[in-house]
Amino acid sequence: MRCPTYCDLTVNRERRLAREGPFFRKVFRSVLARRVQDGACGTGCHVRLFVRRGPEAVGADLSPSMVEQACGDARAEGTRRSSPQRSSRTP
């Protein structure tokens, strides 16, 4: 769990999401997005933001500890239309 802890300590998520939220809302509306994928989702904060904005969202990350944190945060928040997943490395 070292990476999520470091990430939590170095990023002010609330401020970042407040700044980025209007941009994503505009983009999603312009393309009538119903599903969104976040590659390299980390701890899933954007995936949960996307779900709150309306579309279904899936996150993928190579780090199992990040995905574990993302899943835990989604459960704690009660997010139902998101699914953080671990992607596999390709040789």
The domain segmentation of the chain, as residue ranges, is 2-86
59, 38 Cβ separation under 8 angstroms: yes
First vs last C-alpha separation in the chain = 25
pLDDT digits (tens, 9 = 90+) for 34-86: 998 999 888 888 998 888 877 888 889 988 888 888 888 888 888 765 555 65
Q: What are phi and psi of 36, to 5 degrees?
A: -135, 140
Which CATH architecture describes the domain 2-86? 3-Layer(aba) Sandwich (3.40)
29, 35 Cβ separation under 8 angstroms: no
Neighbouring CB atoms inside 10 A of 40's CB total 12
Confidence of residue 2 (pLDDT cuts 50, 70, 90): very low
Q: Which amino acid is at 64?
A: P
Structural tokens at position 36: 């969104």
